[in-house]
Copies of this chain bind each other. A is one copy, B any other.
Amino acid sequence: MSSVSDAESLVLSSDPLHPANLIPELCRGFYHLGWVTGTGGGICIREGSIVYIAPSGVQKERIKPTDMFVLPYPQPTEPSPHTDRVFLRRPKQELKESACTPLFWNAFDLRDAGSCIHTHSQHAVMATLLWAGKEFSISHQEMIKGVRIAGTGKALSYLDTLVVPIIENTPNEEDLKDSMAEAMKAYPEAAGVLVRRHGVYVWGNDWQKAKAQTECLDYLFEIGVKLKLANLL
Q: Which residues of chain A have a CB within 8 Å of any CB of chain B?
A: 34, 37-40, 58-59, 120, 122, 125-126, 129-130, 140-143, 146, 157-159, 169-171, 195, 197-199, 208, 211-213, 215-216, 218-219, 222-223, 226-227, 229-230, 232
Complex CA–CA separation, A104 to B170 (angstroms)? 35
Identity of the chain B residue whose Cβ is nearest the Cβ of A216 in the assembled complex: B38
Q: For A216, list chain B residues within 8 Å (CB).
A: 37-38, 40
Which one, B34, B143, B211, contacts A59 given CB within 8 A?
B211
Complex CA–CA separation, A230 to B227 (angstroms)? 12
**What DSSP secondary structure best describes chain A's contact surface?**
helix
Identity of the chain B residue whose Cβ is nearest the Cβ of A140 in the assembled complex: B197
CB-based contact B38/A212 at 8 Å: yes
Tell me the minimal C-beta distance from A43 to chain B in angstroms: 14
Q: For A213, list chain B residues within 8 Å (CB).
A: 38
Question: Would you mind naming 30 contact pairs between A and B with Cβ atoms under 8 Å apart?
Answer: A34-B219, A38-B143, A38-B213, A38-B215, A38-B216, A38-B219, A39-B146, A40-B216, A59-B211, A59-B212, A120-B142, A122-B223, A122-B226, A125-B141, A125-B142, A126-B223, A126-B226, A129-B227, A129-B230, A129-B232, A130-B232, A140-B169, A140-B197, A141-B198, A142-B197, A142-B198, A142-B199, A158-B169, A158-B170, A158-B171
